[in-house]
Structure 1
Amino acid sequence: MTVIAVLGTGHMGAPIARRLLAAGHQVTVWNRTAARAADLVALGARQAATPAGAVRDAELVITMLTDAAAVEAVLFGADGAVGALPAGTPLVDMSTIGPDAVRDLARRLPAGVDLVDAPVGGSVGAAETGELRVLVGGPDAAVDRVSPVLGVLGTVRRCGPTGGGAALKLVLNTALVTGLAALADTLAVAGAVGVDREAALEVLAASPLGAAVARGTAGGASFAVALAAKDIDLALDALGATPAPVARAAAATLHAALDPSADLATLV
């Protein structure tokens, strides 16, 4: 049993905490909206009033937060976790904040606190069933230490030094976003030439867009358009002036979406 603090119990943080509880770990949770942790408390989690309170006795801390600003506030803000982290406790950031932000975070942590970046591939359903792809970067010793816990959540893929997991996550999400945007355009062509949507999807499932078809028609996924837009913007920031017309067009589509809170599959 490991004593774990989970900071952020939203769409992904909550099923992650449930998996850890089911595996027999002692879990303390914190969420900005405290009521969202009620189900976890009913399952045996402890609830803390502040991030600092959540991590005081932790042997491992997991953050699963919206963006870099949220990570900054939870770790370094008022009652933030960093000031209360026990020496030697690894911090596993599972948020998607990009490799530059991860490396900056690692430099600012107290001596003896190792950062492991571990964003995930997969949505809520995969988190519930322990089938996430956990993309892990960080010092080898720290990764060795946290891998048994992360293995409860899915398949752990080592991605090299600090920031390696965050970098591969941007690659993965760029493929996801551009693939779904390409599928949306392809279905628009199908409509324009009189091809039934279901017939088009059936044929496209065996095409190079097969993975996009599977994601675009999947139930139980929850990856908000706004979050996808944030991730593709991180990728474009990394590209700088490098031409990437497909990614830039996909980003424009996301930013123009009528419902930023809807799942990414609404693109198609």
Structure 2
Amino acid sequence: MEKIAFLGLGRMGLPMARRLASGGYSLTVWNRTPGRVPEPVEGLVEVADPAAAVRGAGVVVTMLADPAALAAVARQISAELAPGTVWVDMSSVGPAAVAEVRDRLPDGVGLVDAPVLGSVGPAGTGGLTVLVGGGPEDVERVRPVLERLGRVVDCGGPGAGAALKLVAIGAIVGGVAVVGEALALAGSLGLPEELAEGVLAAGPLGGLVARARAVDADFPVRLAAKDLALAGGGPVLGAVRERLLAHPELAEQDLARWVDAVRAGG
């Protein structure tokens, strides 16, 4: 198993890195805020510099917050990537940001976009859905790494995984917002919450109701708003984003807590 550099140890990145290490991979890891690996973990070596992390790595994985963070890391590591290295960006940044990174790469370095669907729990157990775009040879090179993290969905050529992530997250966040508004409407009409929720859960909105009521997910409201901004889109998703931003006190809380606020009349 070749060496992996894993950059970005946030809510999702740290359990994903641990998952790879538990599968026998050797990882050099970096995070903008150091000390994210609080105790020794077999297979993980934390370093203070992203450029140092990628030296000698055959596969580089990034799991970063937004396009600005990805661009900043790209400026620091691109010159250190050796021919034959494949960079796997698993961040939710959209196809335009992925294309900008690709334009920075030295000759002989591949790039695969592989954002994920799923939350912190599945990140640590290999239960993510990995949306993969890239050249066939690059994708096949990193497929064993990605399969360790979850179910791989082949989306097409470069940028296709990043694009599908925006489509999927727009539908999920928008749908969760609709469920929140529907439950708020039920309350305003004097209907028992359990009755309305049960009827919605038994129909085609069942998965969205479960997400709206989740207690173990960790997808902050600010990241949901960021993803909707990247998606652009029409008036519905734009309105949902404005509603998310209307609750700055919930910025670091999971999306389900925003639904709680909406149901309570916020």
- Give the TM interval when normalised to the shorter protein: over 0.9
The whole-number CA distance in structure 1 between the counterparts of 2:146 and 2:161 is 13
The whole-number CA distance in structure 2 between the counterparts of 1:198 and 1:5 is 47
- After TM superposition, the structure 1 = structure 2 runs for residues 73-112 of structure 1, keeping only pairs within 5 Å, are 73-76=72-75, 80-112=76-108
- After TM superposition, the structure 1 = structure 2 runs for residues 194-213 of structure 1, keeping only pairs within 5 Å, are 194-213=190-209
Q: Does 1:151 align with 2:147?
A: yes
Deviations 1:133-169 (A, max 9, x none): 0000000000010011100000011111110000000
Which consecutive unaligned segments of at least 5 residues does structure 2 have? 260-266
Shift of 1:101: 1.2
Asked if 1 retains the 8 angstrom alpha-carbon contact of 2:25 and 2:43, the reply is no
Instruction: Tell me which residue corresponds to 1:235.
Output: 231
Q: Does 1:59 align with 2:49?
A: no
Q: Does 1:263 align with 2:254?
A: yes
The whole-number CA distance in structure 2 between the counterparts of 1:68 and 1:152 is 25
Shift of 1:2: 2.5
Q: Does 1:246 align with 2:242?
A: no
The whole-number CA distance in structure 1 between the counterparts of 2:38 and 2:71 is 25
Instruction: Tell me which residue corresponds to 1:137.
Output: 133
TM-score using structure 1 length: 0.93
The whole-number CA distance in structure 1 between the counterparts of 2:83 and 2:210 is 44
- After TM superposition, the structure 1 = structure 2 runs for residues 30-41 of structure 1, keeping only pairs within 5 Å, are 30-39=30-39, 41=40
Shift of 1:188: 0.8
1:137 partner letter: G
The whole-number CA distance in structure 1 between the counterparts of 2:198 and 2:122 is 24
Q: 1:81 to 1:38 in 2, by over 3 A?
A: farther
**Aligned to 2:182, which of 186, 193, 197?**
186
The whole-number CA distance in structure 1 between the counterparts of 2:244 and 2:215 is 20
Instruction: Tell me which residue corresponds to 1:19.
Output: 19
Q: Which moved more, 1:83-92 or 1:5-14?
A: 83-92
Which consecutive unaligned segments of at least 5 residues does structure 1 have? none
Identity of aligned residues (%): 52
Asked if 2 retains the 8 angstrom alpha-carbon contact of 1:29 and 1:37, the reply is no
Deviations 1:98-120 (A, max 9, x none): 11111121122111111100000
* SS of residue in 1 equivalent to 2:35: helix
TM-score using structure 2 length: 0.94
Shift of 1:44: 3.5
The whole-number CA distance in structure 2 between the counterparts of 1:6 and 1:87 is 18
Deviations 1:37-85 (A, max 9, x none): 224x434411111001001011100000000110111120xxx121211
